[in-house]
Structure 1
């Protein structure tokens, strides 16, 4: 039971009771909008069931905070609302959602419910001290509901979660090993995991998982072991289901205060390819910001796919300049690279090199002397472009 009651006028209590269906509906709608993990879970018939549960929880709050407690000291403290919260926690564990997601829903729901109920109280001229006590009781009540849900979640995991987690770890291992579609389907069934259309690898630096938890589909898988990069930093790698443009953007924003690397979308059976690209990007130190979307670095990934081959290609295409003095050679390589990137436009080349257009004309003349007809050969131009396309081309 709550530790105190608040003396509310009958008109206020009646107005709150009347508003509960609307408050419950708005609460669920806001949770769906702000906690993406519940968007599908609360749709349709399930959404109406949850509205009823929210309404019953608010009914429990009004009763406990405005009616005298039972005289029998032995009456169990956990009423229907708390029992329901406990069952909710167990159900969320069975669905694979974390307590972070559940508590995010409670925080969002409490904010909406308080806004609605306090609006009713204020409209009836409730004094400030009474309003403050009502707020204290309500958020204390929500804390108790949250605690019961967390306890139910923990018990369910203790009973069945460990087995499921082990099966999901085996599923991830089979995905990474490139197992057959039939074997993967069997592994998914044993893990009680409903396959999505696609999976996307997401690597997170230490401490970042909590920041993105509310944005993750409950079917998100994780690699059993963290991965260390060449500096020794530990990365957690997740496999996130069915990312689209909107959810991908949300995930990137949620990761902004941490280090993260996001791989390409792949059919769920081929998610190993997404993991491999993420790990390659980490090994390469790709990108300069905290969040790296590998889709933005495809050219660099291709150019650095085989560094030895790229080095050999550069040696081959720059051979005509080998007899020049190092300073002259470097200037001509710099000019050749700018000539390729700016498609021969002299003024743009001059601006990029911070030299006079006549200097560019002179250097291009030198290049033509050394390369001859190769500067008009499409195959030779392609080799030069690939060899000199990256910043470290000299």
Structure 2
């Protein structure tokens, strides 16, 4: 059955007068029934919330009678999804219902209990109001019409509470997201421990043992986050930075398995207060190894490169020092690199370079003329290998 728009109906003063006279009794019966039949509110009525609910019940009943007994005239139009403008007779009850919905969300409760209270309240209020109308000699048609208005009104109140609950959740969700982002920013900035602990408390975030920094493209971040621990922090910078809790040991292997085939750079696990070190290593690895599409880059696979490139200026000086004779001889440089990697095994060098072994011999003769006995010096050959491999 489609319920009428309660704002479009009027009842005559003689119908409403006996109802208004008995309004305090109806309110008391309604509140008693809610306390008895909705266990979630039995305790609430003994505290501060009980006074709010009691006021809301009385306001709702009073507003309803005022609404259906007012003079005929145009109804102010609503500019909000759940309620008319404040000058509307519906406004006080709908504002109270909206506030109740927000309060339920703020206290971490679903709407189940509140909507159950509305149902109980509608039933009891209608029973009491109908009894009063019958005693006053109202005809059945008027009483039936009155029933429709009662339940249409309860629908309006329920909708207002649903809107309030949803708005509070959305507002709280946005606030918590901001707190979590600020926590991630503080961690990556390496702020002091006391500041990080305070930020974690504000965000209602329980610190893990470790955090692991993961870099992913911004457009792919949501899909990747869904694969990770629900406590994962997210920050959008040039790339999305994900700080994944307790992804060490066997958990790291599991995480890497879930990320396989995705574009990502995964840093090492670090104590949560020191996750900046994981982030810094992930950034450095991306600079060295890139971030190929559809490929997972694990920083643990690039430790040697990270070490030898830790001081770029020192590496540049090393290359200038040991590779000076090869400045205009790229083929000789490539041959020397292969020769060092294969520890002088000429056939293997030739196979890698796709040349004849005699070509390798000829080039190595040229290199010995350039470097002399230094090609037999372990420290010098190590320096050459580093310079040629970076």
Please give the alpha-carbon distance, in whole angstroms, between the structure 2 residues aligned to 1:387 and 1:196: 41
Q: Which residue of 1 aligns with 2:354?
A: 354
What is the CA-CA distance between 1:203 and the residue it aligns to? 1.7
Residue matched to 2:278: 274
| Partner SS state of residue 263, structure 1 | strand
Contact 1:212 1:255 in 2 (8 A): yes
Cross-structure match for 1:298: 303
Q: Please state whether the residue corresponding to 1:208 is helix, strand or coil.
A: helix
Deviation sequence 1:1-55 (CA, Å, 0-9, x none): xxxxxxxxxxxxxxxxxxxxxxxxxxxxxxxxxxxxxxxxxxxxxxxxxxxxxxx
Give the Cα separation in 2 of the matches to 1:352 and 1:242: 43
Matches of residues 332-351 of structure 1 in structure 2 within 5 Å?
332-351=332-351
Distance 1:186 1:227, change over 3 A: closer
Q: CA deviation at 1:283?
A: 4.3
Q: 1:196 aligned to 176, 195, 208, which one?
A: 208
How far the C-alpha of 1:242 sits from its partner, in A, is 0.7
1:38 corresponds to: none
CA distance in 2, matches of 1:369, 1:241: 57
- The answer to whether the Cα contact below 8 Å between 1:208 and 1:255 also exists between their aligned partners in 2 is no
Query: 1:371-390 residue pairs with structure 2 within 5 A?
Result: 371-390=371-390
Which gives a bigger RCO, structure 1 or 2 (Cα 8 Å, sep 6+)? 1
Check the 8 A contact 2:340/2:385 in 1, yes or no. yes
Question: Is 2:243 aligned against 1:239?
Answer: yes
Q: Please state how far the C-alpha of 1:91 moved relative to its aligned partner.
A: 8.0
CA-to-aligned-CA distance 1:62-83 (integer Å, 9 cap, x gap): xxxxxxxxxxxxxxxxxxxxxx
How far did 1:330 drift? 2.0
* Bigger CA radius of gyration: 2
The 5 A counterparts of 1:31-70 are none
Tell me by how many angstroms 1:206 deviates: 3.3
Counterpart position of 1:265: 269
CA distance in 1: counterparts of 2:315 and 2:368, whole angstroms:
23
Task: Report if aligned partners of 1:212, 1:251 keep a CA contact under 8 Å in 2.
Answer: no
1:142-194 Cα offsets, whole Å, 9 max, x none, are xxxxxxxxx99966643533443333233222212222223322332232211
TM-score by length of 1: 0.52
Equivalence for 2:331: 331
After the TM superposition, which residues 78-227 of structure 1 pair with which residues of structure 2 at under 5 Å, given as runs? 157-158=169-170, 160-223=172-235, 226-227=236-237
Distance, in Å, in 1 between the alignment partners of 2:334 and 2:171 is 66
- Per the TM alignment, residue 381 of structure 1 is displaced from its structure 2 partner at its CA by 1.7
The answer to whether the Cα contact below 8 Å between 1:174 and 1:184 also exists between their aligned partners in 2 is yes
Change (3 A) 1:177 1:212: closer
Residues 343 and 289 (structure 1), Cα distance of their counterparts in 2 relative to 1, 3 Å cut? farther
* Contact 2:349/2:360 (8 A) holds in 1: yes
- Tell me the CA shift for residue 384 of structure 1: 0.8
How big is the alpha-carbon RMSD for the aligned residues of Structure 1 and Structure 2? Answer: 3.4
Where does structure 2 lack aligned partners over 5 or more consecutive residues? 1-103, 111-162
Asked whether the 8 Å contact 1:211–1:255 carries over to 2, the reply is no
CA contact (8 A) 1:91 1:153 kept: no
Structure 1 residue ranges without an equivalent (≥5): 1-85, 93-150, 229-234
- Aligned counterpart for 1:317 among listed residues 322, 335, 347: 322
Q: TM-score, normalised by structure 2?
A: 0.52
